[in-house]
A and B are shown apart, each in its own frame.
Chain A
Amino acid sequence: MKIYLSQDSAAKALGAEEVAAAIRTEAEARGQEITLVRTGSRGMIWLEPLVEIEREGIRIGYGPMTADGVSGLFDGSAPDLGPVEDIPFFAAQTRLTFARVGRIDPLDLAAYEAEGGLSGLRRALEMTPEAIVEEVKASGLRGRGGAGFPTGIKWDTVRQAEGARKYIVCNADEGDSGTFADRMLIEGDPMALIEGMVIAGLAVGATKGFVYLRSEYPDAIAVLRAAIARAEGAGILGDVMGSGRQFDLEVRVGAGAYVCGEETSLLNSIEGKRAVVRAKPPLPAIEGLFGRPTVVNNVLSLATIPVIFEKGAGHYAGFGLGRSLGTMPIQIAGNVRFGGLFETAFGMPLGRLVEEIAGGTASGRPVKAVQVGGPLGAYLTPGQFDTPFGYEEFDREGALIGHAGIVVFDESADMRAMARFAMEFCAVESCGKCTPCRIGAVRGVEVIDRIGAGDASAVPILRDLCEVMRDGSLCALGGFTPYPVLSALDHFPEEFGQQREAAE
């Protein structure tokens, strides 16, 4: 019997290790031969720990499984979910970046290759650096870390920059609340990230890569380190597939600072400095790590590269909407019935994601607000649910998609408290280099407390302060904290002691 069980940290957090132990014990007690394959997560977190048993080549799901329920898997009494890939949440997805996640043992290179892995790299090895960059441009891929900058253009700048040594830096700091796609990808298909970074190295002439991975992700760190060792052993890293071109990769672990997700702060951190933000220019593409030309890309940007080369830029660009091309691994979190990772072409309306895909709130109470794009993202209300999921479309709503985390709140949410939290978080995490962020966030907490104490005259001060932070901060930490604060204020003025405007 072939059994699959996720070892993703969300599955572990819900008891996957206990289930794995019970499966082994039960099989032994029954004297039954089993193969237990530990995979990444399918992303249906409400079903974790999700056990899958292969029957006539089809994987049937059982979940959420408990240690006590395991005997039912063996005697056939456990209720099943049918074929896992037919579960509506899964069947409705377009999985390109996450095609293998949840299907394979993340360290099994043979399984990786059998499911399309390395074909992108083989193709790229036949191409010139210019042609590689052109392919990425043609795919329409934009940075998945938040800013949405076209990846091909960034690579071209680094390709053309002079430098005896160049670097590829993967930003795996993933600090945004409500996001976990980088973690799931690294835990579930680390080879895709490695392959993407090697291709980036070929494109720009870089021979060394770093993955800056946050310390809050011990499982991901362990999986990625093991994967790098495998890739070295298999000749994917080092002398790349015997091509005579070199690429080495190293994991650097963060030290618990949100601002390290900002790319220049991240570079300072790798260099062993205080992770303060650098003024731009110079761009990291010109003067990045140790002053050398450096590509800094998010995990998802880099892990999407292999499928672009495997299936062709045209295939990838065939998905999406407007200038948001391809697919986005959307992370659905907070107070929802069906939380998890949902990869889909850009363009799906926010309301469909929240009401249909996520199934509304877990509490069963009406949705009050959703925060999209992490702690620096705006709160949107059901009135904005027809907004299609895309960079420009959200921008027009005064919102951002960021790293594509959607956090749902029901009507019990206290929006003034959420606005206060946004300021408090900014104060805790500010790197301290610029005044609007360092001081502004502290004052922001105080002003919101004044409003909370009934001083309505403090509302204009809060608006003023937000303007100063937005216009005067060096990076988006101080610059975007006003998004959640002002959106909470604008949508829920009565919670700040204000009258609601008659026509909203």
Chain B
Amino acid sequence: MPKDMPQDMLETLTRLITGQLHLEGPLLPILQAIQAELDHVPEQAIPMIADALNISAAEVHGVMSFYHDFRSAPAGRHIVKICRAEACQAVGGAALADAVLADLGVAWHGTTASGAVTVEPVYCLGLCACGPAAMIDERPVGRIDAAGLKRMIAELDQ
């Protein structure tokens, strides 16, 4: 058990891990539960998960790093996903993404200096008949242009 962990973090992680142990194949649900509550999966969680599932820490690491969704460091306060896939490209998705990234001064996966927004690429949101599409946190956005998306991003946290 990591020694330098504050007691409340230890308790939180223990609760989130044990809460999923009754499931068949609990590893993804554990990682998802931790990320849902803590916004990322802290390094200290890895040996605890490995212990609980009786697998090696390397295996937990391997699984976590395989999936695009999991983060080992906190993201911005909001996550903006912009669709890069074909149907959105057919209606100007690439130009939209370029304009928004330039405006925010970040690259894909980057977080703005203020910590407000992390921009992630996504390959289809199932909004392909109303592209270009994006998702702000869990809110779907369709038929959006660069000006519109910039405005929505600027209005976050207001």
Contacts and interface: CB of A to CB of B under 8 A. Distances in A.
B25 A421 contact: no
A402 to B, nearest CB: 12
A184 B126 CA distance: 9
B29 A9 contact: no
A408 interface: yes
Nearest to A333: B128
B91 A334 contact: yes
B133 interface: yes
A418 B68 contact: no
A428 B68 CA distance: 10
Interface in B117-135: 122-131, 133, 135
Contact of A13 (B32, B66, B70, B133): B133
A225 interface: no
A290 interface: yes
Contact of B67 (A255, A335, A336): A255
A273 interface: yes
Interface stretch (A215-223, A230-238, A490-498): A215-223
Interface stretch (A119-127, A173-181, A278-286): A173-181
A174 B69 contact: no
A154 to B, nearest CB: 22
B44 interface: no
B66 A407 contact: no
Interface string B67-88: 1111000000000010001111
A178 B87 contact: yes
Interface string B1-40: 0000000000000000000000111111101100000000
A218 B129 contact: no
Contacts of B24: 270, 290
A201 interface: no
B143 interface: yes
Interface in B99-139: 122-131, 133, 135, 138-139
Interface in A10-36: 10, 12-14
B85 A177 contact: yes
A128 B63 CA distance: 41
A428 B120 CA distance: 13
A183 B126 contact: yes
The range of chain B's interface size is: 35 or more
Contact of B28 (A182, A218, A269): A269
B129 A271 contact: no
Contacts, number: 153
Contacts of B23: 250
A362 interface: yes
A215 B29 CA distance: 12
Contact of A271 (B25, B86, B122, B128): B25
Nearest to B134: A13
Given A48-B130, A180-B127, A252-B29, A371 B122 contact: no
A189 to B, nearest CB: 16
Contacts of B62: 274
Given A174-B126, A180-B128, A273-B63, A255 B140 contact: no
A331 B130 CA distance: 12
B97 interface: no
Given A177-B124, A256-B69, A275-B67, A418 B129 contact: no
Contacts of B138: 218-219
Contacts of A177: 85-88, 123-124, 128
A331 B135 CA distance: 20
A451 B140 CA distance: 37
B147 interface: no
Contacts of A339: 128-130
B86 A219 contact: no
Q: Which 7 A-B pairs have the closest CB atoms?
A: A272-B27, A339-B129, A13-B142, A177-B85, A334-B90, A255-B67, A333-B128
21 contacts: A9-B140, A10-B129, A13-B142, A177-B86, A180-B129, A183-B126, A216-B122, A216-B125, A218-B138, A255-B32, A258-B123, A273-B27, A274-B66, A334-B128, A339-B129, A339-B130, A341-B129, A407-B90, A409-B90, A421-B89, A428-B123
Interface of A: 9-10, 12-14, 45-46, 48, 174-180, 182-184, 215-219, 250, 252-258, 269-275, 290, 331-336, 339-341, 362, 371, 375, 405, 407-410, 413, 418, 421, 425, 428-429, 431
